[in-house]
Structure 1
């Protein structure tokens, strides 16, 4: 007999709220796992008004409360769900391997414990606490309420928005309807740690009410594809996170065979589903030997259910996997298939399928396929020459440059659309805590203003 589906209530200013309108959350086989309450537009407006009226806890309370929330998130039973059941369920719903979900649990806990320190990395040198004296630059919030529309591709995405709570924002979170369990658990942990229900809320909504969230907050963070980024590109109150399109560059002065571990890890870590996974590798010279060697390594990855301890590949419903395969093969027309040209679908026999790795080679650096980001290990190899310049390398969250050319490194570092640069054996997905991911969030949330006082006469 199948277990009763979980009830994932909205977590509003007055506590949990179970709506009549609900959305069923399925696992990768199509089995119902949870019922997600979906709140209407009017509820969103009222919740944002309550956040605006609320007072954030003082720093000496909210900083330890964030650390406690991280501890609870990683260890405690929250809303009746032990952490082990949470991780197993997230693996079954998202299709991410359970070892990766466990790693994300630890990542979120660490991020919450260090949220205030990480946020303050963005603080300008010229600003300091105005209580220390007159004639200074004060670092202040740009608003009071932050709306966050999170993605469901990886639980680790929740490690960033907690910095807003550390800085005194009240936060409204719209969870991904694909994987809402992580957001629900984190907001529940924050409430148990002492943050008021009118300080941080969970508002599952449909797309029309999501727009209300974006416009109703003082600032907003949203995740999505190119259409989302284009929609908000010209605004100053919305921070849009789009595809990462992480890349690797191998120049002719580098023996690529000595760096295969870095290339393979960049492509396949995090099940290839993160925005920091490499989706294109540019080789100065002939990319074929490198592509062949990478394909040989990736071919050995096993197809396993997401809850299996040895799982390393993402899993989707079988029909979804087959549709994705058709799309990738259509996009790869004319490319050389080193891996995945026959099939990308590892049928698990239960209505789900592992997404098998793919390695393709295109014939020029500006081939459109190099901008194609997939939710599994899929990488496009392309030739690159000095005459191609930086154009093919632009618009990337992370670039790993395997080169000893210092002049080239200086040019890559100065390129604004390359948001993070690694030089040498540093995989694209490894980002150091405390260093910016896509800029510091504090750069968006805060601003500086002059503060001077004169003694009374």
Structure 2
């Protein structure tokens, strides 16, 4: 794509159809070359779109289920917005830098997430609630509002499967896509429209931060992805659900032969290009972490450096200057740590303006070292010693903890700790979160509430 005429046009998808704005944002690939123009909606347009969502009627459950199933099929197979599946996947790999095999896997995962959205959402439904039919007192499961806003992330296409659960539950949804990788959100909303959801049921509203804030304020409920600042901003809110860094961890206790679990550790660090919030950030070893760190570093050093569209790519790619900036930041933060891998460089220049972000393995001297909380957008793992005297504090503030241990008393304590949101025991990589099980709690816990409903109307009245 050498000229602006060849750029993709990613229009806003509003209540009256596609909307191509005067203000656009260029979307670049990993070499810095522009590949798309993203229409950026103004504040007034966003307000009117949210108002249209609020006026719309929720379709019956049966219609929603059929439309979601069809959307899943279309997403995985159809030409949408002028893009075939192959072109979509290639474009996402080139824009996001994610390996093409990761993007292809995400296509299937996201299609399944759309098709099964209601089933996944309903996992959160309290046992005491059921449909309010039959004239008896019941606990009804009802929405907390009508309009749901989502400020999505661009690190992985799979994030879009979760917000589809809100549509399944009857919300009307406003999606503000990531400006870094808006292609996936655009395709999802196209698929939903083609499948039968009204244009006033789900809208795509690319925008700047000022308009994004207004979307959050104008909706009944919102879900927002971001870093520490986002989490801090909305931590006390009852109407905004923030998703921040995952900081997934692995714990290896003294009786465990770590050499038998290297595959699990390596997959936890590297799968999905190391870009997901569930990829392992830190490994805590009861005893000396050096042998495990050395073994993992040897495995990671053998991974190839390839362009993201390669069928054999496994590592993420960024624009060269961006990759060097990440490397500079990493090395500044790693001062004082022992480098097993990546201490010299994590940048592999591909010669076209892009660079592979290669793995990094560092060893820390204590379990509470601040670097163990540092999450990077590529395979970067910190090994630290851990002892029973350290307690659970170093293991908290984590989306997923994999515990390689036979200590059942310890497992019980980990399971009950509120700072550990998901727990795997044994050879279960941190990045593998099974469909139907909570990711960071069930979204339905946030979207819905239970209330008593008693229908005392006499028969025949």
| Other-structure match for 1:273 | 275
User: How far has the Cα of 1:2 moved from its partner?
Assistant: 2.1
Residue 2 in structure 1 maps to residue 6 in structure 2: no
1:7 counterpart SS class: strand
CA distance in 1, matches of 2:257, 2:134: 55
| Other-structure match for 2:118 | 116
Match of 2:231 among 226, 229, 232: 229
1:240 counterpart SS class: strand
| Other-structure match for 1:27 | 29
User: Counterparts of 1:399-418 in structure 2 under 5 Å?
Assistant: 399-418=401-420
CA distance in 2, matches of 1:378, 1:49: 44
CA distance in 2, matches of 1:368, 1:74: 42
- In the TM superposition, what whole-angstrom CA distance separates every residue of 1:268-320 from its partner, at most 9, and x where no partner exists? 00110000000000000000000000000000001100000000000000000
Match of 1:329 among 331, 344, 357: 331
- In the TM superposition, what whole-angstrom CA distance separates every residue of 1:190-224 from its partner, at most 9, and x where no partner exists? 00000000000000000011000000000000000
- In the TM superposition, what whole-angstrom CA distance separates every residue of 1:53-108 from its partner, at most 9, and x where no partner exists? 00121101010110100110111000111010000000000000111001000001
Match of 1:395 among 370, 394, 397: 397
Match of 2:212 among 206, 210, 213: 210
User: Counterparts of 1:22-421 in structure 2 under 5 Å?
Assistant: 22-421=24-423
User: How far has the Cα of 1:134 moved from its partner?
Assistant: 1.6
1:416 counterpart SS class: coil
2:206 counterpart SS class: coil
The answer on whether the counterparts of 2:301 and 2:359 sit within 8 Å (CA) in structure 1 is yes
1:130 counterpart SS class: coil
User: How far has the Cα of 1:133 moved from its partner?
Assistant: 3.2
- In the TM superposition, what whole-angstrom CA distance separates every residue of 1:356-389 from its partner, at most 9, and x where no partner exists? 0000000000000000000000000000000000
CA distance in 2, matches of 1:133, 1:416: 39
CA distance in 2, matches of 1:133, 1:2: 66
CA distance in 2, matches of 1:204, 1:301: 36
2:268 counterpart SS class: helix
The answer on whether the counterparts of 2:135 and 2:456 sit within 8 Å (CA) in structure 1 is no
2:80 counterpart SS class: coil
TM-score, normalization by structure 1: 0.99
2:2 counterpart SS class: coil
For structure 2, the 5+ residue unaligned runs are none
Q: Which runs of 4+ in 1 moved over 6 A?
A: none
CA distance in 2, matches of 1:417, 1:196: 40
The answer on whether the counterparts of 2:224 and 2:242 sit within 8 Å (CA) in structure 1 is yes
CA distance in 2, matches of 1:203, 1:265: 36
CA distance in 2, matches of 1:387, 1:377: 29
CA distance in 1, matches of 2:40, 2:344: 41
2:259 counterpart SS class: helix
User: How far has the Cα of 1:132 moved from its partner?
Assistant: 3.1
1:265 counterpart SS class: helix
CA distance in 1, matches of 2:47, 2:345: 47
2:429 counterpart SS class: coil
User: How far has the Cα of 1:113 moved from its partner?
Assistant: 1.0
2:438 counterpart SS class: coil
1:301 counterpart SS class: coil
CA distance in 2, matches of 1:286, 1:395: 23
2:123 counterpart SS class: helix
- In the TM superposition, what whole-angstrom CA distance separates every residue of 1:121-143 from its partner, at most 9, and x where no partner exists? 00001000101332110000000
TM-score, normalization by structure 2: 0.98
1:137 counterpart SS class: strand
- In the TM superposition, what whole-angstrom CA distance separates every residue of 1:21-63 from its partner, at most 9, and x where no partner exists? 0000000001110000000111111000000000121101010
Structural RMSD (CA): 0.8
CA distance in 1, matches of 2:102, 2:333: 29
2:427 counterpart SS class: coil
User: How far has the Cα of 1:170 moved from its partner?
Assistant: 0.2
The answer on whether the counterparts of 2:293 and 2:361 sit within 8 Å (CA) in structure 1 is yes
The answer on whether the counterparts of 2:144 and 2:447 sit within 8 Å (CA) in structure 1 is yes
Corresponding pairs, count? 457
CA distance in 2, matches of 1:227, 1:246: 19
